[in-house]
Structure 1
Amino acid sequence: MYKQLSSGVKISITRSISTSFEAYLASIGWDEDKFSMEDYMVIWQNYFKENAAWIEKIPTDILLSSEFHEEIAKKMDEVITKILNEEPTEKQKTEIAKLQKKLGTNYKFDCKSEAAYVEQLLKDKLK
């Protein structure tokens, strides 16, 4: 069912998953101990209901299908795994190192998205 959707709708679904996941992680300060898949699901559902036009482009019978929900769950796993495994860029590492030296901090980060969060956090502290 998911495969039958237009590429634009699939891209929008992927974007809603990644955007809401990164926003959720930022809201918990990227603290693994605070992570709850149930809480993330609530955030994602609110995100796509309020911000995503793709939901209106999918026929109701597909939206209500358990097969579609299973396929979306698999897509979520893929997107989340990709986010968590994408290496920080050298530019991010360099910038964070400079900021941490200025601020005397020692934040750790494991992936590109977390590095973006840490970099913004450090820039905000400099203000």
Structure 2
Amino acid sequence: MYKQLSSGVKISITRSISTSFESYLASIGWDGERFSMEDFIASWQAYFQENAAWVEKIPTEILMSSEFHEEMARKIDEVIAKILNEEPTAKQIETIEALQKELGTDYSYACKAEAAYIEQLLKEKQK
């Protein structure tokens, strides 16, 4: 069912998952101990219901289908794995190291998205 959707709708779905996942992790301070898949899914659902036009482009019978829900669960897992496995850039590492040295902090980060969060956090502390 998911494969039948237009590429634009599939891109929008992926973007909504990525955006809401990163936003959810920021809301819990990227604290893995506080992570709850149920809370993330609720956050994603709220996000796409308020912000995503793709929902309206999918027929109701597909949206209600258990097969579609299973495909969406696999897509969510795929997007999350991609985010968590993307290495921080050299520029991010350089910036974070300089900020941490200046501020006397020692935050760790494991992926590009988390590095972006830490970089923003440090820049705000710098102000």
TM superposition score category, shorter chain reference: over 0.9
Matching residue of 2:91: 91
- Give the Cα–Cα distance (whole angstroms) in 2 for the partners of residues 38 and 101 of structure 1: 37
Deviation at 1:53, TM superposition (A): 0.3
- Give the Cα–Cα distance (whole angstroms) in 1 for the partners of residues 42 and 59 of structure 2: 22
Question: Equivalent residue of 1:110, what SS?
Answer: coil
Deviation at 1:38, TM superposition (A): 0.5
Deviation at 1:90, TM superposition (A): 0.3
Amino acid of the residue matched to residue 34 of structure 1?
A: R
For the pair 1:65 / 2:65, whether they are aligned, the reply is yes
Deviations 1:7-43 (A, max 9, x none): 0000000000000000000000000000000100110
Deviation at 1:76, TM superposition (A): 0.3
For the pair 1:100 / 2:103, whether they are aligned, the reply is no
For the pair 1:80 / 2:84, whether they are aligned, the reply is no
Runs of 4+ with deviation above 3 angstroms = none
Amino acid of the residue matched to residue 111 of structure 2?
A: C
- Give the Cα–Cα distance (whole angstroms) in 1 for the partners of residues 81 and 75 of structure 2: 10
Q: How does 1:1-127 map to 2 (within 5 A)?
A: 1-127=1-127
Q: Structure 1 unaligned runs (5+)?
A: none
- Give the Cα–Cα distance (whole angstroms) in 2 for the partners of residues 70 and 42 of structure 1: 16
Report the number of matched residues.
127
Question: Equivalent residue of 1:71, what SS?
Answer: helix
Could you state the TM-score of these two structures normalised by the residue count of structure 2? 0.99
Deviation at 1:2, TM superposition (A): 0.2
Q: Structure 2 unaligned runs (5+)?
A: none
- Give the Cα–Cα distance (whole angstroms) in 2 for the partners of residues 40 and 78 of structure 1: 15
